[in-house]
């Protein structure tokens, strides 16, 4: 009798264990179904890095999938340009947000611009989507005026679009500066040949009536006496007639 009772007791215990397993197993499955049906609001992750976005989404039991990479002038490299679904949408937990990630600005190869005129170089930069950077000018007899001597970055450097390119530009050989003499009251037929023989430019001679003066006397000059000039600067005179 005792043995039969003991076996009956074991069968009862086994039965109860099986019931408990089914009960708790069903409860876990039910809770998972309930959780999977839970809706959460999608946060705004545009502008964040991928790692920052993952942390933000994990707080809401959401995942992240990268749909592609595109160049962007607005978003820095590695930052999210767009997301789907959009922020504010409601989504079931354990779903993923699809994102487009910035590859940064489009890359451009710097061309060789040394030896070109500044005007030519700026035109090439515009076509490539680059900007003119700092401009430095020096006098040198080795390069014609207006020609590029050096550039930074150097040719074949890969940079982002809209990057600046700086230039060192020749101003040609430095010209000697002279002081303009006072020519008022002097005879024009004596002054002009001397200036022209020395390489100066007498560009305009105007004849005006001036009471009390004989013909051919300088009454006005530009530049005025004492003014610094170079040989390329034009000289204009007014002469009595």
Residues 94 and 151 in one domain: no
Residues 126 and 95 in one domain: no
> Per residue, what are the HEC states of the chain?
CHHHHHHHHHHHHHHHHHHHHHHHHHHHHHHHHHHHCCEEECCCCCCCEHHHHHHHHHCCCCEEEEEEEECCCCCCCCEEEEEECCCCCEEECCCEEEEEEECCCCEEECCCCCCCEHHHHHHHHHHHCCEEEEEEEECCCCCCCCEEEEEECCCCCEEECCCEEEEEEECCCCCCCEECCCCCCCEHHHHHHHHHHCCCEEEEEEEECCCCCCCCEEEEEECCCCCEECCCCEEEEEEEC
Evaluate whether 175 touches 140 at the Cβ level (below 8 Å).
no
The sign of the dihedral angle between the CA atoms of 78, 81, 87, 90 is negative
Q: Which of 104, 124, 140 finishes a domain?
A: 104
- Considering the domain architecture, whether residues 76 and 111 belong to the same structural domain is answered as no
The last residue of a domain, from among 85, 104, 123: 104
Number of domains in the chain: 4
Q: What tens digit of pLDDT does each residue of 111-139 get?
A: 999 999 999 999 999 999 999 999 999 99
Residues 31 and 46 in one domain: no
**Which one of 104, 125, 143 terminates a domain?**
104
Q: Are residues 131 and 160 in the same domain?
A: yes
Domain that holds residue 18: 1-35
Shared-domain flag, residues 99 and 111: no
Distance CA 100, CA 85 (A): 12
Q: How far apart are alpha carbons 74 and 119 in whole angstroms?
A: 29
Q: How far apart are CA 1 and CA 84, in angstroms?
A: 71
Alpha-carbon distance of 205 to 32, in angstroms, equals 102
Residue 159: CATH number of its domain? 3.30.10.20
Asked if 53 and 100 sit in the same domain, the reply is yes
165 with 212, same domain?
no
Residue-by-residue pLDDT tens, the chain, 241 positions: 455 555 555 565 666 666 666 655 554 444 454 445 689 999 999 999 999 999 999 999 999 999 998 888 788 889 999 999 999 999 999 999 999 999 887 889 999 999 999 999 999 999 999 999 999 999 998 999 999 999 999 999 999 888 999 999 999 888 888 999 999 999 999 999 999 999 999 989 999 988 888 899 999 999 999 999 988 899 999 999 8
Residues 182 and 214 placed together within one structural domain of the fold: yes
pLDDT tens digit sequence for 190-207 = 999 999 999 999 989 999
């Amino acid at each position: 009798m005792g043995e039969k009772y003991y076996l009956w007791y074991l069968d009862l215990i086994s039965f109860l264990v099986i019931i408990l397993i089914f009960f708790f197993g069903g409860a876990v499955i039910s809770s998972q179904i309930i959780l999977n049906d839970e809706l959460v609001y999608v946060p705004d992750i545009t502008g964040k890095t991928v790692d920052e976005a993952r942390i933000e989404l994990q707080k809401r039991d959401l995942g992240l999938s990268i749909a592609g990479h595109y160049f962007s002038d607005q978003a820095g490299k590695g930052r999210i340009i767009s997301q789907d679904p959009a922020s504010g949408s409601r989504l079931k937990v354990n779903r993923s947000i699809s994102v487009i990630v910035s590859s940064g600005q489009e890359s451009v190869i710097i061309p060789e611009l040394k030896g070109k005129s500044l005007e030519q170089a700026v035109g090439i930069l515009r076509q490539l989507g680059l900007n003119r950077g700092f401009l430095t000018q020096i006098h040198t007899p080795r390069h014609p005026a207006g020609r590029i001597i050096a550039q930074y970055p150097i040719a074949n450097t890969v940079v982002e679009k809209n990057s600046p390119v700086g230039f060192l530009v020749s101003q040609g050989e430095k010209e000697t500066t002279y002081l303009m003499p006072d020519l008022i009251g002097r005879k024009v037929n004596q002054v002009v040949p001397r200036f022209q023989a020395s390489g100066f430019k007498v560009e305009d001679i105007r004849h005006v009536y001036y009471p009390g003066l004989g013909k051919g006397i300088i009454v006005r000059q530009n530049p005025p006496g004492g003014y610094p000039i170079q040989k390329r600067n034009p000289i204009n005179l007014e002469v009595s007639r």
